[in-house]
Amino acid sequence: MNVIEKLNSIKTGEITAKENVESFIKVIDENNEEINAFLELNKENALKQAKAIDEKIANGKKVGSLAGLVFGVKANINVEDLIVSAASKTLENYIGSYNASVVEKIIAEDGIIIGLLNMDEFAAGSSTETSYFGPTQNPAAIGRIPGGSSGGSAAAIAAKMCDISIGSDTGGSIRNPASHCGVIGFKPTYGAVSRQGLLDLSMSLDQIGPLANDVSGIALALNTIVDYDETECTTLNWDKPDFTSVIEDNSLENMKIAICKEFIDVTDDEINKTVNKAINKLVDGGAELVEVSFDYIDLCLPTYYLINYVEFFSATRKYDGRDYGYRIEEVCGDEVLRRIKIGSHIAQAEFSGKYYKQALKARSVIRNEINSMLENVDLIVGPTVPKLPHKIGEKLTPMEMYAYDILTVIANLAGIPAGSIKAGEVDNIPVGLQLQAKPLDDLKIIKAMSVLQNTQ
């Protein structure tokens, strides 16, 4: 049963919202100690919410578009009365005093928040190993990382602990773990979803998005969370589509998709072979395949991390131990401290022009190049992550860790939508197909994912 079928079953009373919540609580109770996806649980409230939804349905009253569906939320997104720690000792006692805009929208549509999910500390990482509360296991490849920084969000879906999860994506933090865990993850166009209530990693790159086991879950979530928010200055006021309108599609006639040689060149051969099989299915579905080139692949990671360092340093100045939590530099992990120190250094006046402003110029070059690549095609398709996830505890240098992001940072730098869907497996480990589109062409990605899913 996919997510939309379950939703319809709840609305018709075939199964109850309470039964849906209870089934996930059972799975969480049995498996979370091993997987470590959830940091905070909201069982009592979730059951109370489910009961109210069931009563509305029983009395013939109108219910929301997410009625009874169960959501997990990344621990850097505010949920009232839960500890919003961002997986850091810095905020281990910080209780959310309000709901982020996305959480408000989910609850308003009768979605149920079951708890908060593990992540890399302050979203600084690609493996979920930097969490103060310990690493998350990859349910699809036990013993290996689930990816990051939204590792808990992907693992919760892969372990069937909730219907839909919400993560944040700054340089691939939704798509990277979606690829490693064999689930679907989606980063909307920058500004399509309100970031109000998100703890910033890098404000000009961050975007909130959903993860699910099937495309209908992604589409339902997007229909709710993609919206203009007058309290958040980056949100877009646009004529958003109905994302569920394409989930039954099985044809890509008149759609042109592109592969990029430079993306293939930086990716392991076995991953490329698996991804190519998924691309061939899109072609079988009617898509025309062309090739494009991208001359700035080597520029992407340095540009991304320079911007990330400076904006993260700025964002963390509020964690000074006076209003809440501890002073971040005194209790944070190595990766967070590394980013703060480098960001502080680059932000100094004498280095700002040399590094940060140059990185902003480089981002403009990358954005223009990506937009020109997309000018005559609907989608760019290829691998999500260039290598398989390493074993938990295996020592990687910072540059080896950053290399996971080489294919995903591009969408954040360009502000374009991008998603990852399972392409297949290499050595029994999931591998993702990444799809990227023009700004506000988010629906085209959902359509292609639907065709891939419906023809398997």
Give, in degrees to the nearest 5, the angle at Cα 167 between 257 and 417. 25
* Choice among 173, 216, 420, 450 that is catalytic: 173
Active-site residue (options: 88, 131, 149, 216)? 149
Choose, from 74, 105, 187, 444, the residue flagged as catalytic: 74
User: Which amino acid appears at position 164 of this protein?
Assistant: I
Does the active-site annotation cover 165?
no
149 among known catalytic residues: yes
Residues 379/446, Cβ–Cβ less than 8 Å = no
74 catalytic residue (yes or no): yes
Query: Which residues, other chains included, contact 159 with Cβ-Cβ below 8 Å and sequence gap of 6+?
Result: 27, 31, 35, 37, 139
Q: Measure the CA–CA gap between 331 and 324, rounded to whole angstroms.
A: 13
Q: Which residue has the tokens 């398997």?
A: 456
- Active site positions, annotated: 74, 149, 173
